[in-house]
Amino acid sequence: MPSPGSRVRYSPAHLRAHPAALLLAILCTGTPASGDELLVDGIAAQVGADIVLVSEVMDVVSRTEKRMRAAGAPESEIAKLRAEGLETMIEWRLIEKLVRDTELYATDEEVDQTVGAIAQENGISVDELKESLGAQGMPYDEYRAQMKRELERRKIVNALVANRVHLEESEVKAAYEEQFASQPTGGTQLHLRQLVVPGGEEHGRTTAEACSFVQELRKRIEAGGSFEELAQRYSAVSPQQGGDIGWIHEDTLASWMVQAVAEVEDGGVSPVVELPFGCTLVKVVGRREYEPVSYEKAKPTLHAQLFEQKLSGEYRQWMETLRDNTYIERRGYFAEASNLGSTSRQDSSAIP
């Protein structure tokens, strides 16, 4: 799961038109620390009767900012990131007030169920999810707090926004035609897992070294090792899913993959295949005859997808109205940094 700063991305809209030349001069001539020198902890923004602290914004963007600085991003881009972080915090404050007013709180049990479902969808245990989060530098308590916030946001959306969404049967049928009109009428599907180890200068190993390593992994699998566990640990493709790339129709397989799995029985693993970007193994989990997807079978999924798309649009409009009707004052550094944002919130906001 992404950090709060990257999971929900917002950029300032309705930006004020006055120049930010002084801030730009400070940011562009100073050292990377110069922006931080402007930011002692204090109030970054007032949102109605609530406030957002500078330290809260910095916590939201810290991991992304660290990566950007390591990549040599200019201070103007750091300012944009911080401005986006503030907009995220402003939205959280608006939602938090609505949660208090409506008492639509997320319980610990609901958070536990959500975390468990996320782990299950990724084919891992909750303990393994905790380990993965730790490796990414996110404390588990912080992750749970983020899940609680997202669940409460969803409750507010369902209570106050969902009734604005209207979906016609004709829209669902049009989506079915778009997605399934060219589907095969028969043939075979293969359930595949793939383990990919990339090679090249950017990966610190040659392609030959990557292939040698994949060959060693294949020997470990032949000796009883788990393809899924090795894919989770080493693969560049779907590692959290143990390399699972799902059910794929034979007609859509790349030519090299067709050759690799042609003689592989269900449950077996292909020979090592060298590709332009590294080396790979493919496991054939199983095969089945392809059955064309009827409209009635696809309808529930398509309806849900279209509903979420429309809900996202309604949410953006609703949130803009909520912002317009709430006293919001960005202060100090953030009052100027908001003018450096180049993308409106309407282009980048998202429903959790």
- DSSP H or E run through 52: strand 50-53
If asked whether residues 158 and 15 sit together in one domain, one would say yes
Strand 188-198 and strand 278-289: pairing? antiparallel
Residue 350 is classified by DSSP as -
Of 116-125, 147-156, 318-327, the range with the lowest mean pLDDT is 116-125
If asked whether residues 285 and 306 sit together in one domain, one would say no
CA distances from 264 to 77, 187, 259, 284 (A): 50, 18, 10, 7
Of 34-38, 43-47, 270-274, 318-322, the range with the lowest mean pLDDT is 34-38
- Domain membership of residue 174 (yes or no) is no
Query: 9 falls in which pLDDT band (50, 70, 90)?
Result: very low
**Section 99-123 average pLDDT:** 93
What pLDDT is stored for residue 72 in this prediction?
A: 93
* 15-24, 136-145, 178-187, 263-272: which is most confident: 263-272
What pLDDT is stored for residue 8 in this prediction?
A: 29
What pLDDT is stored for residue 347 in this prediction?
A: 43
What pLDDT is stored for residue 341 in this prediction?
A: 52
Of 5-9, 65-69, 72-76, 328-332, the range with the lowest mean pLDDT is 5-9
CATH number of the domain that 246 lies in?
3.10.50.40
- Domain membership of residue 294 (yes or no) is no
If asked whether residues 59 and 143 sit together in one domain, one would say yes
If asked whether residues 101 and 16 sit together in one domain, one would say yes
Three-state secondary-structure class, residue 162: helix
- Domain membership of residue 179 (yes or no) is no
Percent of the chain with pLDDT over 90: 73
- Backbone phi and psi for residue 45, each to the nearest 5 degrees, phi listed first: -160, 150
**Section 223-247 average pLDDT:** 93
Taking the C-alpha atoms of residue 296 and residue 260, their distance in angstroms, rounded to an integer, is 36
What pLDDT is stored for residue 332 in this prediction?
A: 87
If asked whether residues 13 and 151 sit together in one domain, one would say yes
**Section 106-110 average pLDDT:** 97
Where are the alpha helices (H) located in 14-139, listed in sequence order? 21-29, 34-37, 54-70, 75-102, 108-121, 126-135
- Kindly report the average pLDDT of the chain as a whole number: 85
Strand order in the sheet with 50-53: 50-53, 43-47, 328-330
What pLDDT is stored for residue 48 in this prediction?
A: 96
If asked whether residues 96 and 26 sit together in one domain, one would say yes
Of 7-21, 160-174, 175-189, 316-330, the range with the lowest mean pLDDT is 7-21
Whose tokens are 């470990």? That residue is 220
If asked whether residues 284 and 244 sit together in one domain, one would say yes
Of 79-88, 213-222, 278-287, 328-337, the range with the lowest mean pLDDT is 328-337
Give the count of domains, the chain.
2
If asked whether residues 156 and 94 sit together in one domain, one would say yes
pLDDT in tens, 34-88: 344 445 689 999 999 999 999 999 999 998 999 999 999 999 999 999 999 999 9
**Section 304-310 average pLDDT:** 96
Query: 201 falls in which pLDDT band (50, 70, 90)?
Result: confident
CATH number of the domain that 123 lies in?
1.10.4030.10
Three-state secondary-structure class, residue 163: helix
pLDDT in tens, 157-179: 999 999 999 999 999 999 999 99
**Section 248-253 average pLDDT:** 94
Q: Which is nearest to 12 in space by CA: 306, 352, 347?
A: 347
Question: Got the DSSP string for 201-259?
Answer: GGGTB-HHHHHHHHHHHHHHHHTT--HHHHHHHH-SSSGGGTTEEEEEEGGGS-HHHHH
For residue 284, the enclosing domain spans 188-289
What pLDDT is stored for residue 137 in this prediction?
A: 81
The alpha carbon of 266 is separated from its chain's Cα centroid by a whole number of angstroms, namely: 33
If asked whether residues 86 and 144 sit together in one domain, one would say yes
Percent of the chain with pLDDT over 70: 85
If asked whether residues 196 and 280 sit together in one domain, one would say yes
Q: Which is nearest to 240 in space by CA: 50, 74, 15, 1?
A: 1
What pLDDT is stored for residue 122 in this prediction?
A: 79
What pLDDT is stored for residue 335 in this prediction?
A: 87
- Domain membership of residue 170 (yes or no) is no
Whole-structure pTM over 0.75, yes or no?
no
